[in-house]
């Protein structure tokens, strides 16, 4: 039996299954129909198991009962389906699987028994007030700019295509990003060297994504772009800003702590390289 694809007006039926994953704003915004995504359930009326896939289809969120062997087969079929959609001619599909309880760890070993998987840890950090003074420390040769339509249309900027790629990784379109989200970037000459975006916004909560060009890492530039986003978020009413990173990403955790974020939790994930 396949999983049922839920219509948007039926999302409320699976919301209780995802209660323990409310620190993932990708989940919350899809459930609230703020951003596009797909939700599947074993039973539309009384779901026991649910799968949520946001715009970024390299993330898969599993919730509810992990002891549903019928759902296991259907979830395996979803991986194959995503390979066809996201593989784009490749024979592999890379994704991170997030899950709501430890029971899923064993279940994933069964569902993906013929695939390359590894269990790892990610961390969630939280900020409730801006703590870093950044403007007076900004180097003269660095400019921090809002990511707006004018910047995105400037094809003369080096790395502009990487900024656009990052937008598309979490938002369904540039238009959606400009209407619902925001971001800032650091510009050195005609080169964009770092960019940070509030990629998800749910009620008064925001969630950041950040990237710095390798040649400009370890110079403190990420703190300026992130600080600009944090400043704007609090100015428009944020009460909480979230930051997710891999547990072994010391550079990301150091930046988060420098900005004033405090670690809330470590949580397990499953990395999968799915092959047909």
Domains and CATH numbers, the chain: 4-121+271-275 (3.40.630.110), 129-238 (3.40.630.30)
Distance CA 268, CA 66 (A): 15
Distance CA 3, CA 28 (A): 21
**How high is the pLDDT of residue 85?**
73
64 close to 70: Cβ distance less than 8 angstroms: no
Q: What is the pLDDT of residues 201-258, one digit of tens each?
A: 999 999 999 999 999 999 999 999 999 999 999 999 999 999 999 999 999 999 999 9
**In angstroms, what CA-CA distances link 229 with 140, 164, 207?**
20, 17, 10
Distance CA 210, CA 185 (A): 10
User: In this structure, what DSSP letter does residue 1 have?
Assistant: -
219 close to 177: Cβ distance less than 8 angstroms: no
Q: Does the pLDDT at position 186 exceed 70?
A: yes
For residues 47-63, average pLDDT: 93
Distance CA 117, CA 115 (A): 6
Phi, then psi, of 24 in degrees rounded to 5:
-100, 105
Beta strands 205-212 and 240-246, pairing class: parallel
For residues 24-32, average pLDDT: 97
Residues 6+ apart with CB under 8 A from 185: 144, 145, 147, 151, 163, 192, 194, 195, 196, 225
Q: Does the pLDDT at position 1 exceed 70?
A: no
Residues 6+ apart with CB under 8 A from 233: 198, 206, 241
Residue of 107, 99, 25, 106 lying closest to 269 (CA atoms): 99
Q: What is the pLDDT of residues 87-123, one digit of tens each?
A: 666 788 889 999 999 999 999 999 999 899 999 999 9
């Amino acid at each position: 039996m396949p999983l049922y694809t839920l219509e948007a007006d039926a999302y409320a039926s699976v919301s209780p299954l995802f209660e323990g994953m409310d620190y993932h704003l990708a989940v919350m915004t899809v459930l609230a129909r703020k951003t596009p995504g797909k939700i599947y359930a074993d039973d539309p009326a009384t779901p026991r198991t649910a799968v949520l896939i946001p715009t970024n289809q390299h993330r898969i969120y599993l919730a509810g009962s992990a002891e549903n062997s019928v759902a296991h087969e259907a979830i395996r079929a979803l991986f194959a389906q995503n390979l066809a959609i996201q593989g784009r001619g490749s024979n592999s599909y890379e994704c991170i699987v997030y899950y709501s309880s430890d029971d899923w760890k064993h279940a994933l070993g069964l569902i993906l028994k013929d695939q390359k998987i590894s269990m790892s840890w990610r961390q969630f950090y939280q900020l409730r007030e801006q703590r870093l003074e950044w403007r007076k420390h900004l180097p003269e040769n660095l400019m921090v700019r809002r990511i707006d339509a004018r910047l995105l249309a400037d094809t003369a900027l080096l790395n502009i295509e990487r900024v656009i790629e990052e937008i598309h990784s979490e938002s369904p379109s540039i238009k959606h990003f400009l209407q619902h989200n925001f971001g800032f970037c650091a510009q050195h000459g005609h080169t964009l060297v770092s960019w940070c975006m509030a990629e998800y916004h749910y009620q008064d909560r925001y969630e950041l994504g950040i990237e710095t060009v390798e040649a400009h890492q370890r110079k403190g530039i990420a703190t300026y772009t992130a600080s600009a986003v944090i400043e704007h978020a609090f100015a428009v009413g944020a009460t909480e800003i979230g930051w997710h990173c891999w547990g072994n990403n010391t550079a990301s955790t150091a930046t988060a702590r420098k900005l004033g974020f405090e670690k809330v939790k470590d949580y397990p994930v499953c990395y999968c390289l799915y092959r047909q």
